Amino acid sequence: MAVVLGINAFHGDAAACLLRDGRVVAAVEEERFRRVKHWAGFPAQAIRYCLAEGGLALDDVEHVALNQDSRAHLWRKLAYALSRRPDPGLILERLRNRTQRSGIAALLEQAVPGGRFAGRVHPVEHHLAHMASAFCCSPFDDALVVSVDGFGDFASAAWGVGSGDDVRVDGRVFFPHSLGIFYQAMTQYLGFPHYGDEYKVMGLAAYGRPRFMREMDQLLALRDAGGFALTLDYFRHHRERIDYQWRDGVPTVGTLFGPRLEALLGPARRPGEAITDRHRDIAASVQAAYERALFHLLAALHATHGLDALALAGGCAMNSLANGKLCLQTPLRSVYVQAAPGDAGGALGAALQVWHRLGNSRMPPLDHAYLGPHFSDREIAAVIRETLPADDAAFAVDCVDDDDVLCERVVSALVGGGVVGWFQGRLEWGPRALGNRSILGDPRRADMKDILNSKIKRRESFRPFAPSILRDAVADWFEQDGDVPFMAQVFVVRPEKRAHIPAVTHVDGSGRLHTVHERANPLYHRLIRRFADETGVPMLLNTSFNENEPVVCHPREALDCFLRTDMDVLVIGHWVVRRLRDA
């Protein structure tokens, strides 16, 4: 038995995953246990879960893979420091991060009391870990492999070719140039300051026109051979110490843009300030500039290698709006983005890279994301008994053992306009709810978006909700036909279908779809099929089961979310909890 534990530590989205004999046994983000979004630090609870799921002790772990290698590009780092003379605090911050990562063995033994780690720690360069997470999980024998994010190991992007069991890095973009920093800085400028807020700019972009492209050209330039570069005068990250918080809490990033950006585009929007047409148009321009740079890189790689398949990772691979256009605006014909393309997924990529370094073959493609904690009906019943008094007249609680009857009851609630919390099986790996920790609604209702925002989500009105659709129905409802199992691409809804599913059709006619396969999630597939039989619509509105918090992990969290919001029904395993409106 060969065991590899992969870790993303001391960065946002701290996470762990476990490989045993080349197969993923478990994978989960630390935030699911800490209940702090994007939690940064050492993923002690995620590690404990992965070992428990595998039935292993720390002593059984032969190899630990870390998705960071402080030795990578060391001469380039030193040359930059000597030539540019940045703020000494910037250098000290990097050295502090390196020191934190050097004591992994001791941290493991603290995380798993009573255990002893006698294995090897393998640093894996950040972007190589991302690339491995993309290609080694993909269905491709040969593909272009690209990683794009903010920064990791002094680089912001890397690309190459995956073939068989090997991932080869052919090129990189180094600090201080970065598509991820460009998008993050512009997200801050638009008044969304929190780590991970970039998806808000994507949602807002659909409401604007890209009329600031001349200004975007001044910020982000295209270079030969697919390259790109920032105009550094508009940014701060390369010369000043930016405040970061990467340890034991909410990750934060200080302001990345400088005063020249406001001179170019006008005053930055302050959080809470009204969103104007100018902000909408800047958001559209930012998205268009990002897409232009990404497509420029991919077109150049295609011209060099002639490969039509792409495995994509890195934080920028979560730009589902751009991902949906990859096969329309580049020569590519197929794209794979694994369930956790950001830094959490680096834990998986590092583990896979070490597995291959040890001379082993690739695992089968990863076609589902159900790799987290799960709970029995008996455990769920105990939580319900502890939380809901048996004589509480405001709720009805039933156990429905028959899956067909369970689905019929849920469909009845949805068709009646109800909002349903759906908690089943293993927690999803990655940022998306994929039918195991989801809140569901009727996509046909024009008012469902407002209902969800008033009852539960309480989020910005410009953000869309996603459709979970049966895989064999995609071509009937969308202008593209493709498999999107991890909700990583936005497709255009067919014009004649938009009026039928207004709750999941964005203002620009698009939808960030999630394709559902019977083999990957038979119960969720059965539920959607039952809804289709009732309504003629083979999809459900699907949003993450949470309320301004990480997606629920434990039944207790699902029940707490149900009770503090105005959700109508909670289906948790085979237990159904209904709110009685006339109580």
3-state secondary structure of 126: helix
Could you give phi then psi for residue 402, rounded to 5 degrees? -85, 120
Q: How many CB atoms lie within 10 A of CB 272?
A: 6
Closest CA to 207 of 460, 576, 424: 460
The beta-strand segments (E) located in 278-332 are 309-313
Tokens 């380039």 locate to: 76
Q: Please say whether the beta carbons of 423 and 435 come within 8 A.
A: no
Q: Please say whether the beta carbons of 345 and 128 come within 8 A.
A: no
Give 17's Cβ-side CA count (13 Å radius). 34
Please name every residue paired with 428 in a beta bridge, in sequence order, or none if there are none.
370
Closest CA to 137 of 301, 27, 291: 27
3-state secondary structure of 240: coil
Catalytic residue among 11, 63, 238, 279: 11
Residue 228 burial class via C-beta count within 10 angstroms: exposed 0-12, middle 13-18, buried 19 and up: buried
Q: Please say whether the beta carbons of 269 and 239 come within 8 A.
A: no
The whole-angstrom separation of Cα 237 and Cα 583 is 57
Which tokens hold the place of 226? 């697919």
127 an active-site residue? no
Number of H helices, E strands in the chain: 20, 23
Which tokens hold the place of 486? 């991890």
Parallel/antiparallel/unpaired status of strands 466-470 and 539-544: antiparallel
Which tokens hold the place of 149? 């994010």
Instruction: Note the Cα 158 to chain centre separation in Å.
Output: 19
Contacts 24+ apart (CB under 8 A), 43-48: 43/7, 43/8, 43/9, 43/14, 43/15, 43/16, 43/347, 44/107, 44/110, 44/111, 44/112, 45/111, 46/14, 46/15, 46/16, 47/5, 47/7, 47/16, 47/108, 47/111, 47/112, 48/111, 48/112
Which tokens hold the place of 341? 């393309």
Report the catalytic residues. Answer: 11
